[in-house]
């Protein structure tokens, strides 16, 4: 009888700086006799293999074939003896407050063949975005990954969604503050995505990631070109909640049109997106930002911002979390903007409500506007808010 419940499977290359942190965070799980650590190294020239072995890993060597990420992932799965396979990357970390919850999920072996965990994408001091990914799979013989760049599993339902307190910190996006490193990454992936698209232009998975990469590279004409192809392809498929992550293209396409100052087409795509989902806070944010910054139309900006905030602060389907959410970063900015908007409009109550909600988030990304707060005290408005020239009535000087 196989006594291994869970195999933690990794593919690595030159990850000595990340791997130590990652595996240290899993130590209380790795020491269990019912857990094994499988590490496939694809050609490290640093101390990655030594770090893995120090943590008790079974290390396998495999030559990496360019553009074959799924082959390496599947080779790792083939080495797993556990009844369950947990996919882990070296640039991830299991926080202590989530560790015992994940350990219990491993131990319980709930029946659902695919289990989703929360990821927090850390962006230096700017906060983090959140999403969910399937990571724990029943080790069936036919369980495999496909795709050359953005590999995806042939996940089976029904699905189990771990509670939000069970999460991994992902540090893979911190490099994006380094323009040179970011360009290197996307310059590597773009040719692979283009080749995948040319082989099968109807592959919406490849097309989605191609458009996302083109937007990051600032190639907005190409975002429009391939984005419109994506829209045509989406109209031919039977949409369901499992496709939710693909909705990111609506945001990318609206943003591209707005950067070209094509508001008519941006509104057309915005309206089309509503047929699929009305819960994309970032599309509201992009529209609101254009009205606010470009058109200087605060009233229309307010409508989009309030819709974005409503989505950020009301729960939806678990599948919505397949799409990266920037609510942790976005919501404080929206509270701040709306507090100022209503302050300037003379609605002290709403201004105070938004200000207080932002403060209650206890989020370091929230830049408290003391000029608004102080307006409720005995300080003349002209000294505290240069944007506003009128005085606050004496009986309206409390924002709370």
Residue written as token pair 């300080």? 379
Nearest CA among 223, 311, 333, 235 for reference residue 275: 235
Verify that 234 and 137 share a domain, yes or no.
no
Beta bridge partners of 92: 170
Cis peptide before 158 (omega within 30 of 0): yes
Asked if 144 and 51 sit in the same domain, the reply is yes
Q: How many CB atoms lie within 10 A of CB 12?
A: 27
* 28/145 same-domain check: yes
Per-residue pLDDT of 282-336, as tens digits, reads 999 999 999 999 999 999 999 999 999 998 888 877 777 766 667 777 788 888 8
The strand pairing partners of 86, in sequence order, are: 8, 136
Specify burial of residue 377 (Cβ count, 10 A radius: 0-12, 13-18, 19+): exposed
Virtual CA dihedral for 266, 267, 270, 271, nearest 10 degrees? -150
57 phi-psi bin (left φ>0, alpha ψ -120 to 50, beta other)? beta
Residue 338 has pLDDT above 70, yes or no: yes
167 in any annotated domain: yes
Rounded CA separation 19/48 (Å): 7
* Number of domains forming the structure of the chain: 3
Residue 145 and residue 63 in one domain = yes
Q: What is the mean pLDDT of residues 160-176?
A: 85
207 and 137 part of one domain: no
Most confidently modeled range among 75-79, 321-325, 362-366: 75-79
d(CA 337, CA 342): 9
| Strands, E assignment, the chain | 6-12, 35-41, 58-61, 84-87, 92-93, 114-122, 128-138, 145-146, 152-153, 159-161, 167-170
- Which residues does residue 9 pair with via DSSP β-bridges, in sequence order? 38, 87
Asked if residue 1 is part of any domain, the answer here is: no
Has residue 192 got a pLDDT over 70?
yes
Region 90-100 average pLDDT: 95
The phi, psi pair for 114, rounded to 5°, reads: -135, 130
Clarify whether residues 240 and 314 are in a common domain.
yes
- Its domain, for residue 69, covers 6-174
**Residues 221 and 280 placed together within one structural domain of the fold:** yes
β partners of residue 235: none
Q: Flag the least confident range among 31-35, 170-174, 243-247, 339-343.
A: 243-247
């Amino acid at each position: 009888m196989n006594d291994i419940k869970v195999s933690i499977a990794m593919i690595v290359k030159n990850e000595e700086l990340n791997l130590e942190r990652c595996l240290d965070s899993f130590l209380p799980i790795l020491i269990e006799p019912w857990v094994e650590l499988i590490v496939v190294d694809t050609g490290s020239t640093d101390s990655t293999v030594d770090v893995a072995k120090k943590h008790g890993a079974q290390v396998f060597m495999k030559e990496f074939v360019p553009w074959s990420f799924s082959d390496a992932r599947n080779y790792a799965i083939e080495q797993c003896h556990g009844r369950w396979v947990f996919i882990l990357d070296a640039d991830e970390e299991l926080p202590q407050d989530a560790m015992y919850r994940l350990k219990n999920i491993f131990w319980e072996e709930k029946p659902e063949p695919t289990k989703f965990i929360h990821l927090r994408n850390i962006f230096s001091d700017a906060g983090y975005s959140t999403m969910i990914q399937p990571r724990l799979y029943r080790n069936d013989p036919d369980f495999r990954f496909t795709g050359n760049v953005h590999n995806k599993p042939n996940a089976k339902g029904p699905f189990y969604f771990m509670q939000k307190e069970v999460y991994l910190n992902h540090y893979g996006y911190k490099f994006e503050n380094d323009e040179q490193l970011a360009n290197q990454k996307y310059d590597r992936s773009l040719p692979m995505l283009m080749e995948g698209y040319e082989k099968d232009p109807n592959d919406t998975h490849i097309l989605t990631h191609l458009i996302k990469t083109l937007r990051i590279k600032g190639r907005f004409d190409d975002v429009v070109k391939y984005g419109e192809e994506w829209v045509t392809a989406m109209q031919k498929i039977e949409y369901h909640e499992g496709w939710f992550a693909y909705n990111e293209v609506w945001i990318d396409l609206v943003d591209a049109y707005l950067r070209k100052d094509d508001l008519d087409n941006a509104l057309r795509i915005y309206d089309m997106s509503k047929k699929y989902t009305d819960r994309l806070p970032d599309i509201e944010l992009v529209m609101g930002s254009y009205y606010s910054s470009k058109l200087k139309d605060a009233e229309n900006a307010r409508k989009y911002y309030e819709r974005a905030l409503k989505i950020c602060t009301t729960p939806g389907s678990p599948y919505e979390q397949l799409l990266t959410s920037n609510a942790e970063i976005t919501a404080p900015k929206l509270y701040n903007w709306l507090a100022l908007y209503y302050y300037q409009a003379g609605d002290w109550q709403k201004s105070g409500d938004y200000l207080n909600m932002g403060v209650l988030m206890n989020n370091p990304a929230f830049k408290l506007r003391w000029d608004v707060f102080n307006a409720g005290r005995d300080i003349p408005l002209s000294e505290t808010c240069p944007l506003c020239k009128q005085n606050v009535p004496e009986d309206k000087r409390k924002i709370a």
